[in-house]
Amino acid sequence: MAKAELKTKHKTEIEDSSSLKGTLASVFLLGFFIIITWVSVYYLFVERF
Amino acid sequence: MVNSAVSKIKVDPRDAKLSMAHFYVAFIALALGGLMGLLQTLVRSGKYELPGGIGYYQILTVHGVMMGLVLTTFFIMGFQYAAVSRTAGTHSNAARRTGWIGFWTMTAGTAMAATMVLLNKASVLYTFYAPLQAHWIFYLGLTLVVVGSWIDGAAQIMTYAKWRKNNPGKPSPLLSFMAVINTVLWIVATLGVAATVLFQLLPWSLGLVDTVDVLVSRTLFWYFGHPLVYFWLLPAYMCWYTIIPKIIGGKIFSDSLARLSFILFLLFSIPVGFHHQLTEPGIDPAWKFFQVVLTFMVVIPSLMTAFSLFATFERYGRSKGATGLFGWFKVLPWGDARFTVPFIGMASFIPAGAGGIINASNQMDQVVHNTIWITGHFHLTAATSVVLTFFGISYWLIPHLTGRKLTKAMNKLGIIQGWVWFIGMVFMSGAMHFEGLLGGPRRSAFSTYGGAKQAAEWIPYQIAQAVGGSILFLGIILVLIIFINLAFFAPKGEEEFPVGEAENPQESAPMVFENWKLWLGITAALILFAYTIPFIDIIQNAPPGSKGFKTW
C-alpha cells in the first residue's frame, strides 16, 4: 500500500516538471500579437486606399 | 571515443587563428559602419550637417555595406568555421588552407569595394540598384567577397564531409549540420547576385555595354537579397537552439525539430524574392502571389523555433522548481551576459517577425513600401536579433579562441551593453516604424520637402531616431571595449565553448535530414518553378535598357 502511494506521488511530480503549459500560453500570446499588429496595419490600408 | 570527445572540446589553436582573423575584420567594420550610422541619424534630425561636402548617400552606403555585408559575412564565416571545428573535429590542413584563401579573397574584395565607396565613386547604397552606376572596381570587389565566401564555406563543407565519411550511418553533430545548411543556402542564394554583377553590372560599368535591364538586375538581386537575411539569421538560430540551452544548464528541446526547421528555411527562404518587388511593374501578379504564399511558409519554421525555445526555458525553469504558468521566466540566468544579450535579441524577434508578415502581405506593402518603416524593420531583425546574438556569442567565443577568460567585470559590461542597445533601438526603430506609417521615406537625407505639412510631422520622429542612434553608438563603443579586452587584455584562462545536448539522446535524428540530393533537389525545383516563367516574361517583354546614372 505504502509502496503504491509512493509510486503515485512520484508520477505526479514528473508530470508537473515536464509541463509545457507556459510554452503553450507563450506561443498563443505570440500568435495574438502577430494578429493584432497585422490587423492594425490592415485597417490603415483599408482607410487609405 | 572519450578521448576524441575531450580533444574536440576546445577549438584547435590553428583553427582559432583563422576564426579570429574573420572577427578582426568584422569588428573593424562595426566601428566604421556604426560611426556612419550615428552621423546619418544626426543628419536626418535636421540639426547637423556633414562637414567637408561629404554626401549623405556616401555615408549611407558605407553604413549599409559595412554592417549588412562585411560585419555579417565575416562574423558568420568565422563563427561557423569555429563551430564546425568544435563539433565535427579540427579542420584538416587542406580545409584550413582553403579557409585562409577564402578569407583573404573576401578581405581583398572588401578593401576594393570600400576604397571606391570612400573615394565617392560608388554611392549606390548597399543594394546597388541599377541604374545607379558605381565604379567597376566596386563591383569587382563585391564579386571577390562572394567568391571568397564560397571558398571559405567550402572549408566547412570539407570537414563536414570528412566527419560523415568517418561516421557512416550516423547523424552529423547538430551545430555542424546547421552551419552546412547555412553555407549551402548562401551558395545557392549568391548565384543570383553573382549573375547580375558578372553578366550585367560589370560589363555595363566597364563600358562594354551601354545599357542595363533594370528589372532583371533587381530580380536577380532579390533572388539573393531575401535568403541573405536568412543567412544572417540562421547563425543566431544556431546559438538559440544549441548554445543557449547549455549556457542556462538546460537541454535542447528536440534535435530533430531543430534540423527540420533549418531544412525548411533552406527550402522556403529562396524562391520568395518577389515579395521585395510587390510594387514593381513588369512582374505578373500571379507569380507575386505564388511567391508571397511561399514567403508565408517561413512562418512555420519560425514558430517551430519559438515553441522550441520557450519549451527549453520552461523545462529548465521547472527543473529548478519554478511553478505557475510563467514562473520559469524568473529563474533564467539574467546575470549571465552569454544568455541575456542573445535573449534580448530573441525577444526583439517577436515584433520583428510580426513586422515581416506585414511587409510580405501585398496590400499592406502599399502602406509601408519604401518608407522608413522598412528600415525600422531590418534594424529589429538584423541590427537587434542577429547582432545582439552575435555579440552574445563573441562574449564567450573570443576568449575561448584567444585562451582568455570572460571576467566578471566584462560580463557585467556585456549585460549593460545589451540593455543600452535595447533602449537605443526602442527609440530608433520604434520611431522609424511610426514615421513610416505616416509616410516618411527611407533612403533620403533631411528635407522639409518645400515646407510640406506632412513632412513636418516626420521631424519629431527623426529627432527620436537621432537620440536612439546616439544611444546605439554608445552601445557600439561598449562592444568594441569588450572585444578588445577579450582579444588582447583579459586574463589567460579557459572559456567554455558551450554546446547543448538533446533532452532525449536516445532519439537520434532521422538520416533523411542528411540526404542532400533530396533537399537540394526540392530547393532547385521550388526555385525553378517560382522563377522560370516570370523570368522569361520579364526578359521577353523588357523595356529598353537604361544607361548608368550617378546622382551623387
Which residues in chain A have their CB less than 8 angstroms from residue B346's CB? none
Q: Do B314 and A17 touch (CB under 8 A)?
A: no
Q: Confirm or reject contact between A42 and chain B (CB < 8 A).
A: yes
For residue B545, is it within any domain? no
So what's the ipTM on this one? 0.88
Determine the residue of chain B that is closest to A15 in CA distance: B318
Residue-level pLDDT at B15: 97
Q: Are B128 and B65 in contact (CB under 8 A)?
A: no
**Which residue of chain B is at minimal alpha-carbon distance from A48?**
B367
pLDDT tens profile B184-237: 999 999 999 999 999 999 999 999 999 999 999 999 999 999 999 999 999 999
- Whether B315 and chain A come into contact, CB under 8 Å, resolves to yes
In a domain, B526, yes or no: yes
Rounded CA-CA distance B505/B99 in Å is 32
Q: Is B354's Cβ below 8 Å from some Cβ in A?
A: yes
Q: Which residue of A has its CA nearest to B436?
A: A41
B357 and B299 Cβ atoms separated by less than 8 Å: yes
Please indicate if any CB of chain B lies within 8 Å of the CB of A29.
no
d(CA B176, CA B126): 30
Q: Is residue B114 part of a domain?
A: yes
Please list, in sequence order, all residues whose beta carbon lies within 8 angstroms of the beta carbon of residue B341, skipping any fewer than 6 positions away: B388, B389, B391, B392, B395, B414, B415, B417, B418
CATH number, position B438: 1.20.210.10
Of B297, B500, B303, B256, give the one whose Cα is nearest residue A26: B303
d(CA B244, CA B260): 19
Q: Inter-chain contact B310–A22, Cβ cutoff 8 Å? A: yes
- The answer to whether A37 contacts B355, with C-beta atoms less than 8 Å apart, is yes
Residue B552 lies in a domain: no
Please count the other Cβ atoms lying within 10 Å of the Cβ belonging to residue B138.
Answer: 28
Is B550 contained in some domain? no
In a domain, B551, yes or no: no
Q: Closest Cα of chain B to A24: distance in Å?
A: 8
Domain assignment present for residue B28? The answer is yes
Question: What is the biggest distance separating any 2 CA atoms in chain A, rounded to whole angstroms?
Answer: 73
In contact, B133 and B546? CB cutoff 8 Å? no
Name the residue range of residue B288's domain: 6-540
**Residuewise pLDDT in 10s, chain B (552 residues):** 333 443 358 999 999 999 999 999 999 999 999 999 999 999 999 999 999 889 999 999 999 999 999 999 999 999 999 999 999 999 999 999 999 999 999 999 999 999 999 999 999 999 999 999 999 999 999 999 999 999 999 999 999 999 999 999 999 999 999 999 999 999 999 999 999 999 999 999 999 999 999 999 999 999 999 999 999 999 999 999 999 999 999 999 999 999 999 999 999 999 999 999 999 999 999 999 999 999 999 999 999 999 999 999 999 999 998 888 999 999 999 999 999 999 999 999 999 999 999 999 998 999 999 999 999 999 999 999 999 999 999 999 999 999 999 999 999 999 999 999 999 999 999 999 999 999 999 999 999 999 999 999 999 999 999 999 999 999 999 999 999 999 999 999 999 999 999 988 888 899 999 999 999 999 999 999 999 999 999 999 999 999 999 998
Instruction: Check: CB of residue B279 under 8 Å from CB of residue B195.
Output: no
For chain B, the domain total comes to 1
- Flag whether B1 is in a domain: no
Spell out which residues of chain A touch residue B353, defining contact as CB-CB under 8 Å. Answer: 34
Q: Over the stretch B404-435, which tens digit does the pLDDT of each residue have? A: 999 999 999 999 999 999 999 999 999 999 99
Q: How far apart are CA B256 and CA B279, in angstroms?
A: 39
Residues of B in contact with A45 (CB under 8 A): 363-364, 366-367
Query: Given an 8 Å threshold on Cβ–Cβ distance, is A23 in contact with B307?
Result: yes
CB contacts, 8 Å: A20 with chain B: 311, 314-315
Tell me if residue B379 is catalytic.
yes
Q: What is the 3-state secondary structure (H, E, C) of B272-324?
A: CHHHHCCCCCCCCHHHHHHHHHHHHHCHHHHHHHHHHHHHHHHHHHHHCCCCC
Q: Do A49 and B366 touch (CB under 8 A)?
A: yes
Facing residue for A22 by CB, picked from B328, B364, B366? B328
- Residues in B closer than 8 angstroms to A31, CB to CB, are 303
Distance CA B110, CA B66 (A): 9
The answer to whether the CB atoms of B318 and A44 lie below 8 A apart is no
**Which set of grid coordinates corresponds to residue B543?**
523595356
Interface contact flag, B354 A34, Cβ < 8 Å: yes
Q: Tally A–B CB contacts below 8 A.
A: 71
